[in-house]
Structure 1
Amino acid sequence: MAIKDNLLVAGGFRGELICKYVHQPGVAFCTNLAEDKDSITNAVDVYESPNGSTRVLAANNDCAVRVFDTERFKLLSHLKFPCSVNDTSASPDGRLVAVLGDSSECLVADAQSGKEIANLRGHLDYSFASAWHPDGRVLATGNQDTTCRLWDVRNLSQSFAVLRGRIGAVRGLKFSSDGRFLAMSEAADFVHVYDSQADYSREQEIDIFGEIAGMSFSPDTEALFVGVADRTYGSLIEWYDYFDSCL
């Protein structure tokens, strides 16, 4: 699920893509991206293209990333890749997309053509999460090998930092809107918050109970929200002092 400029976008387990403007009644757009019942819509993103128009990205198990406009929700691009795509995200300037899937390698591609710009090597297993620093210079990728790697887009030949989880795959990555903090969630129990101004060497670890459904910073970066997907204790937890040593 993703939201930007009042447009909420969500994907489904059978390839659904649903778009809704939060201040308008009804659903703006709904479609099935693929006929295969196993073609899960794994990730969505909403971004601004270089010409100023808003676009929707959708990553699917059918080895494709699709790009839609938001005026008529017309399919603009159907970008094919070698493996199932678990996550995709657009750079802040809308020119690049990160493409992560059932491969140890991550791709950076042209957002319009899908042409490969760089092949990121270093992870050991499948990848599931990505996030761009607001200044567009750093890309974070999360992997089943329990690590997050940080890449400088000016030199993508190797990662400049490796952030390690405790017990499981890195399933969520979010930068705060000011770029100060990077939050990294594991599949369950642990969320880590890193200070980018300390070259990601300072960390606050948040220990919770249950599988983690998702997380997000508030727009003003004052709060961190974490969803817990537990059948008994399912909840939405809010932290204000998520990085005590830096506040």
Structure 2
Amino acid sequence: MNKQIATQNLDKLITKVEAARLRVSEHHIVKIIGVSKYSTSEDVATLYEAGQRAFGENKVQDLKDKSVALDELPIEWHFIGRLQKNKINNLIDLRPSLVQSIDSLELAQELNKKLEAKGKKLNALLQINSAKEDSKAGVMPEIAIETYQQIIQTCPNIKLKGVMSIGAHVEDRDIIKESFLTTKKIFDELKPLGAKYCSMGMSSDYELAIACGSNMIRVGFTLFKN
């Protein structure tokens, strides 16, 4: 991917995000996370030069490889994939800005235990399975608020910053919208507990997600396509 294509991709995305954001409110700010899981370190560096600052990886090893290769760039790294318990220590050592995929109280407590042992803290989002799909990770919407409160109470080394979800994996936009609105409603109820980020929306549905109140989107193909 060359600089010109990277700049074009980013400019087009920002233009669409701006339009979607302004339809909600001129005060509504949306943060873009570039999902680099299918891309090279060189592509990430090119997009960084074009102005993209935050990137997300799905696998701990990929996050390690890219963050080491791009060590000289002050990139804001996010971990957005399913976190396996045997990879927790490795992830902590990489010090990501945000772990977006805490998908159970049990995982949070395991992570907290290892953070305590290392004397470290980590920012995270609670993942909600608002589409209630078997293929997706995350807590069910009915217990999301309770789980969020339990993590705050029992995991002092995890700083919860909000919620994340993936839109329903269907063609019907109304069903996708419903899954986003479910997450947004939970996010609104968690604001008094310090929730700042409602992370939802990917390349195929980020405009709809923003319309439903998302303030953080995770976009891969749209940014990295040649």
The alignment's TM-score, normalised by the length of structure 1, stands at 0.30
Which has the larger strand fraction?
Answer: 1
The alignment's TM-score, normalised by the length of structure 2, stands at 0.32
Structure with more contact order per residue of length (Cα contacts < 8 Å, sep ≥ 6): 2
